Amino acid sequence: MVRYRSNVAALIVRADGSLLICERWTIPGAWQFPQGGVDSGESLEGALFREVKEEIGIGPKHLRIVKKRSGYRYLYPEQVRQKKLQKHGNQGQEQTYYLCELLNTAPPVNVNQRPREFRAYRWIHPTEFDLEWLPEFKRDVYRQVMLDFFDVEL
């Protein structure tokens, strides 16, 4: 039986409809949404707000959850799976995505957090997202997420 780690991801949009993407610190050219694992005893929303604050410096009072969808799953690639299995006891992730409106009172995004997750960020129209920015094993999830939340086919 496959065990999945619970994970949350934030689709953060501004009033103009632009979507936040962040470039991984350790993998130049790899762009993704703020996301992370849910700690034991933590609620999904609690994990979402913690991860967003830790990764881009935006607190919960500056976001409004608009929509939520669960059940997105992926398996880690074989070469990563054994390490993750030993570290977390999981072979993949099951994600809950949150569409969040960035309120106009929010401070600027700040990726200079510790520990550092991202090297850069930018705002794009959802149709501009490129699956080539992702590892192969995450592409089907992102393809479905973009369709479900933005009616965009990648």
Residue 78: its pLDDT value, please?
82
Domain assignment present for residue 113? The answer is yes
Domain assignment present for residue 21? The answer is yes
User: What distance in Å separates the CA atoms of residue 99 and residue 89, rounded to the nearest whole number?
Assistant: 28
Residue 140: its pLDDT value, please?
98
State how many domains the chain has: 1
Domain assignment present for residue 27? The answer is yes
Here the CATH number for the domain that contains residue 142 is 3.90.79.10
Q: Count of alpha carbons within 13 Å of 114, Cβ hemisphere only?
A: 0
Residue 88: its pLDDT value, please?
72
Buried b / exposed e along 55-90 (16+ C-beta atoms within 10 A): bbbbeeebbeeeeeeeebebebeeeebeebeeeeeb
Domain assignment present for residue 56? The answer is yes
Binned average pLDDT, 10 residues per bin, the chain of 154 residues: 93 98 96 96 98 98 98 89 71 96 97 96 98 96 98 97
Domain assignment present for residue 154? The answer is no
Residue 63: its pLDDT value, please?
98
- Per the structure, the complete domain to which residue 103 belongs is given by 4-149
Residue 86: its pLDDT value, please?
65
- Note the pLDDT tens digit of each residue in 83-114: 766 677 788 999 999 999 999 999 999 999 99
Domain assignment present for residue 107? The answer is yes
Domain assignment present for residue 48? The answer is yes
